[in-house]
Each structure stands twice: as structure tokens, then as C-alpha cells.
Amino acid sequence: MDQFLSITATSPLHLWATFAIISATIVAFALDRYSIDIVSAASLSALLLLFALFPMATPDGSFGHQQLLSGFASPALFAIMGLLIIGQGMFQSGALEYPTERLLRQYDKRPRTTIAAVFLLVVLMSAFLNNTPVVVMFIPIIAAMATQSKISPSQLMMPLSFLSIFGGMTTVIGSSTNMLAVQSYRSTVPGGDIAFFELTVPGGFLAIVGVIYMATVGRRLMPDHSDPGGSKRAVREGKQFVAQLEIRRGNPLIGATPVAGFFPDLPDVTVRMIQRRTEAILPPYDDVKLAPGDILIVAATRAALTNVLKSRPELLDGAATEIPLNEDEDGPKPRAQLTLAEAIVAPGSRMIGRTIGQIGFHYQTRCVILGVERRSRMMRAQMNTLRLEAGDVLLILGDINDVRALRSERDILMLEGSIEGLPDPRNARICTATFLAVVAAAATGVAPIDVSAIAGACIIVATGCLNVRQAARAVDRRIYLLIGASLAMGSALETTGGAGLIGEAVALGAKDLGPVFMISAFFIVCAAITNVLSNNATAVLFAPIAVSAAEAAGIDPHILILTVIFGANCSFATPVAYQTNLLVLTPGQYAFRDFIRVGGPLIIVLWIAFTAFAPIYFRSRGLM
């Protein structure tokens, strides 16, 4: 102790040093000169050095690196990691394709109405379910809508997060913040309780105000970050490939008949020829009924072929049975590992002038050529008899590892942006059932969200819907470091007495100015602290302070407890303020300052609205 100082929990050194580190971190986040993960790591390192060089004694012992690093074992952190893995599994398996397609079909007819209906559903679901899985479920739907309407996802992702927070304000179980504040109220005040729907009227009022703000001012402040990879994608959707479908026994196309020359079971696919033994049948196929042994020569865009293979995977049996799905240390490769890619026949390639049957492509690469696109003309010939030319584009199907291995082939040039996985309906069913079970367990209280989320993520990996590498890639290191560092800052702020100092100063300064001023002061202070500390910590910290301040001012503590709940839910100004903000951070391509620009004014608007509404509401209930 001769070199280092041992200072009590009320030491000005630790208090002001913590304030300085948190302030510098917020400034660094806002300037956006360094990446979020670097700033988070630097902030955490500064706190670790502070309490290592200058140990601080607390009633429970010393406060140091163990407490600061405990945030990386936080249940909230593991809940987010588990839900990210489940969300990636649902996305990759195609589990949300059907509801997304239904919404997108409505979106084409009534885009504004559909978006409004989706956001209304988010608000309603968030009132009764944890906000995090609700946002996870709707992120791919919102992303698809953004793609369909050719607007940036950044225009819709932040409203998705904010609207889920609005919904969480309206019931006691709407968010963990509400439940923690109610629990603290019950333990502090004998007989103190808040009814299930007691938050609905004031919470609904704030939600309406927030929605109006997001539809007007917030819409103009929203950043427009276009997808940097979207315009560079190498997939050429308008090009027609010639492909071949073999009608084997058990194929659902057996017995199919055309309507006006087109087969309804093959939407957006043109059948150019039917090869029946030695007979070539050409359009319009009058009185033709498909039979086993028929070979269909079809023309379709890659998107059309992909949609047919996704919706009717049994049509792929002829090609898929030739593709070995290997096993490695990450477990079995499911159908989701089947991958489509495009490659160009290179000039000077040994394939030129040879037929697909002669080059033995499958035996050399373990992949199959599903289709060929030739700009000069449209062919009517079986795939095995088609002679390749330089510049032909091959649509290749294979296992993901075998497709990636084609990059080293000199005879073809891979189009990197064209690689796309084909989901397996079996995996979609597993992921959907797992997600519903996780939500049900968390909503009914059978298991906490962190427990159910981790269990669900393990099921996703164990059943082969994702392998270990894919699951690891689903976990964004920025989110991991952000949460760990923010929890460390919150722990330091609370332990050094900084958070309590702020709360007590507000209570003492406001109690002589009347209940309306005290309500207003508690709301804005909680709203400010929750964007730095965390909503749960803010609710737990300020609930007993609110009770003490209410008793000192001679007003009903019920008023300030509700005020603390609504203020602590205003997690709009920073991405670290709430889990749903972190979830939309990457798909919306947001910077830290984007949340300040949109969420900061929103907090001010809600503060003014609550200050005006609260006295009227509380007087009508006889509390003031």
C-alpha cells in the first residue's frame, strides 16, 4: 500500500475519474473516428487500469477487475448472443421466407399500409413479449421490404427498434425494466404494487407521441446508408439460363399438363423442349402429359430457378443425389449447405468445344452444372450434348466447400458475388419450432430469456441448421465488446456513487419546486442515465431514490415510480442503451452518432409530452 492508494467508495478520485472515462468514451463514440470495438476496449482498459493502480475498498470488499469483467458473463449478453445465432439460423434456413413473401406481396400493392401494419404488429407483440426476440424476428422482414422498395435498410431498422421499446412501455411484462422497477417498489414500500395494465394509458400516450415523431421529424433525421455491396452484386437476375429437369419416378410433375403452353407447377419457367425417349416435343405441347423418363429443357432466370428449387426441393433430386454432403468436425452438412454459384468459361479453357458430358465436371469437382447461359442464342438441346463456348456462364450447384474450391480452377472464372445457399425446409421447421419455444419459455416464465436463448442456439447448431463456424460468424464482436464495456462503465458508476449522486441531487433540488417539477426532473434524469448506464440498472437504482424523494416531498411514491419506469425506457440516444438498438446496429449500418441525432430529440419530445400529460393523468386518478 506504500505505492498505491486505498480509497473508499466515496473517493473523489474514483468518482471523477470514472466520470471522465465515461465522458471520453461517449465523445469517442459520437466522433466515430475509431471503430466501436476499439473504443469499447480502450474504455474497458482505462477502467481496469484505474482500479488496479488505485484499489477501492467497498463494504463487500475491494472493487476491481473481477467486477468490471463480470459484464462479459452477463445474462443479457448471453441472451443477445443466443438470439443472434437463432436469428441467423432462421434467416439461413429460409424459415421466414413464407411470411416475408406474404408481406411483400401485400407490400407491392399497398406499401405504406403494409409497413404501418408491420410496425403496429411489432408494438402489440412487444407489449407482451420480450422486445429482443420480436426485433430478431422482424429484422429479415424489414430488410426484405427495404430491398423490395429499393431504399436503405437504415430508414427502417431504427424505427423497428424504437417501436418495440414503445410497445414495451405499455404493460408490466413489456420489458425487464418494468418488472425490475415493480419488484424494487414492492420491496421498498409495503403493499406497493403496480397493476398489469396500469402502464397502458401513459405508455400508450408516449407511444403515440413517439410514433408521430418518427413519422415526421424522425423520418427526416434518419440516416440513409445504402448497401455498399448491393449494387456490386454479380448476380444478373435478368439473364436466362438453360437447365434440365429429369422426371423420375415419384416426381410431383408426373401427370402435369400445360396451360397455354406453360406448366403451372413451374412458375416463371419456360419449357423449351420435352425429350421423351427419341422424340423431341416442342411447344405448345397440346395434349401432353408429363411421364416418368421425360427430360425437360427449360429456360429461366436464376431467381426463378432458385425459387422453384426452394419451394419444390424434390425437383432437385436428380442433381442433388449426385452431390456428396460431407461431414467434418463441425457436424453434418445439411441441405442448407447446397450452394448455387455462377462461373464463366475462361478463354483458352479446356472445356471449350467439349460437351458437358465429356468434360466430367461432376467427377472432377463433385459439383453439377445446373444451367448454361449463352448470350448469342437460346439453345434447345439436352445438357449433356451441349458444347461449351468461351464466355458461357455456368450455373453450378454443389456443397459450399466444393463450390469454394472452384476458385482455384483455371478453366472457369468464379463470380464471387453469385454464391448463394439453398435452404432446406427441414431446417426451416426446426428453426421455427426452436424460436417459438424460446419465445414461449421466456414469455410464460418457464425459463429466463438468457437460458432459453442459449438452449435454442445449442439446438440450432446440434441439429445441423448452422455449423459452429456459421454460428460464430453470427456473433458480432462489436456487440460483445459494447455490452461488456457498457456494463463495466455502469458497474463503476454505481459503485463509486456517481449514479446515486446524480439521482439524489435531482431529488433534493426538485422537492421544493413542486411535484410537477420533480416528475419532470426524474423523467429526464432517468432518460439520460439509461442511455449510459442501462435501463435495468437505472430502474433499480432510481426506484428507491424515487420513493425517498416522494416521501420527502409529501407526494405519492406511486407517481415517481411510474415516472422512473417511463424515463428508464427511453433508451433511444445510444446503441448500447438497449439490446434492440444493438441488434439493428449492423443491418442498419448505423454509426453511434445516428442514434444521438434521431434518439436525442425523441427523448426531449417524450420528456415534454410526459411533463404535460402526467399531472393531468395523476390528478384524474387521485394521486396528486
DSSP single-letter state for residue 334: -
Average pLDDT over residues 283-305: 82
Our CA dihedral for 491, 164, 575, 433, rounded to 10 degrees, sits at 80
Average pLDDT over residues 206-212: 95
Question: Could you give the CA distance from residue 576 to residue 572 in angstroms, rounded to a whole number?
Answer: 9
Smallest CA-to-CA distance from 526 within 510, 43, 514 is with 510
Average pLDDT over residues 552-569: 86
Q: What is the largest CA-CA distance in the chain?
A: 100
DSSP single-letter state for residue 387: B
pLDDT band at 99 (very low <50, low <70, confident <90, very high): low
Q: Is the peptide bond before 284 cis (omega within 30 degrees of 0)?
A: yes
Smallest CA-to-CA distance from 331 within 468, 160, 485, 525 is with 468
Average of per-residue pLDDT values in the chain: 79
Residues 354-377: pLDDT tens digits?
988 788 888 888 888 888 887 656
DSSP single-letter state for residue 574: -
Residue pair 543/188 in contact by the 8 Å Cβ criterion: yes
Average pLDDT over residues 543-560: 78
- Tell me the CA end-to-end span of the chain in Å, nearest whole number: 54
Average pLDDT over residues 138-152: 78
DSSP single-letter state for residue 239: P
DSSP single-letter state for residue 286: T
Residue pair 576/483 in contact by the 8 Å Cβ criterion: yes
Average pLDDT over residues 409-437: 80
Residues 452-483: pLDDT tens digits?
889 999 999 898 888 788 788 777 777 678 77
pLDDT of residue 202: 93
pLDDT band at 211 (very low <50, low <70, confident <90, very high): very high
> To 5 degrees, how large is the angle CA 530–CA 536–CA 541?
80
More confident residue, 500 or 622: 622
Residue pair 482/77 in contact by the 8 Å Cβ criterion: no
Residues 17-34: pLDDT tens digits?
988 888 888 777 767 677
| Dihedral over Cα of 91, 97, 98, 104: its sign | positive
In our burial notation (b when 16+ CB lie closer than 10 A, e otherwise), range 270-305 reads: bbbbbbeeeeeeeeebeebebeeebbbbbbbbbebb
pLDDT of residue 502: 65
More confident residue, 527 or 506: 527
Residue 387 clears pLDDT 90, i.e. is over it: no
More confident residue, 96 or 564: 564
Average pLDDT over residues 132-141: 77
Q: How far is CA 533 from the centre of its chain?
A: 23
**To the nearest whole percent, how much of the chain has pLDDT over 90?**
12
pLDDT of residue 213: 95
| Helices (H), ranges, 475-514 | 477-495, 498-510
More confident residue, 158 or 233: 158
Number of continuous H segments (helices) and E segments (strands) in the chain: 26, 13
The residues, ordered by sequence, that sit 6+ positions from 134 with a Cβ below 8 Å of its Cβ are 122, 125, 126, 164, 167
Average pLDDT over residues 588-606: 91
Residue 542 clears pLDDT 60, i.e. is over it: yes
| Helices (H), ranges, 191-290 | 200-215, 217-221
For residue 277, the one-letter residue type is R
Smallest CA-to-CA distance from 320 within 246, 377, 264 is with 246
Residue 535 clears pLDDT 80, i.e. is over it: no
pLDDT band at 166 (very low <50, low <70, confident <90, very high): very high
Question: Which residues are 298's β-sheet partners?
Answer: 243, 271
Q: Which of 366-370, 414-418, 604-608 has the lowest mean pLDDT?
A: 414-418
pLDDT of residue 335: 45
Same fold, 240-305 and 335-380+387-423: yes
Please name the helix (run of DSSP H) or strand (run of DSSP E) that holds residue 120, with its range, or none: helix 111-126
Average pLDDT over residues 581-585: 85
Question: Could you give the CA distance from residue 565 to residue 562 in angstroms, rounded to a whole number?
Answer: 5
pLDDT of residue 348: 83
DSSP single-letter state for residue 447: S
Residues 313-342: pLDDT tens digits?
666 555 555 555 444 444 444 444 678 888
pLDDT of residue 6: 39
Strands 56-58 and 331-332: unpaired
Please name the helix (run of DSSP H) or strand (run of DSSP E) that holds residue 420, with its range, or none: strand 412-421
Residue pair 550/560 in contact by the 8 Å Cβ criterion: yes
DSSP single-letter state for residue 578: S
- Cα–Cα distance list, 92 to 99, 314, 334, 408 (Å): 15, 19, 11, 26
CATH superfamily, domain 240-305, is Regulator of K+ conductance, C-terminal domain (3.30.70.1450)
Beta-strand runs (E) in 193-269:
240-246
Question: Could you give the CA distance from residue 191 to residue 185 in angstroms, rounded to a whole number?
Answer: 9
| Helices (H), ranges, 246-287 | none
pTM for this predicted structure: 0.61
Residue 236 clears pLDDT 60, i.e. is over it: no
Q: How far is CA 277 from the centre of its chain?
A: 51
Smallest CA-to-CA distance from 272 within 239, 306, 244 is with 244
171 SS3 class? coil
Domain ranges across the chain = 75-225+444-480, 240-305, 335-380+387-423
CATH hierarchy code of domain 335-380+387-423: 3.30.70.1450
DSSP single-letter state for residue 124: H
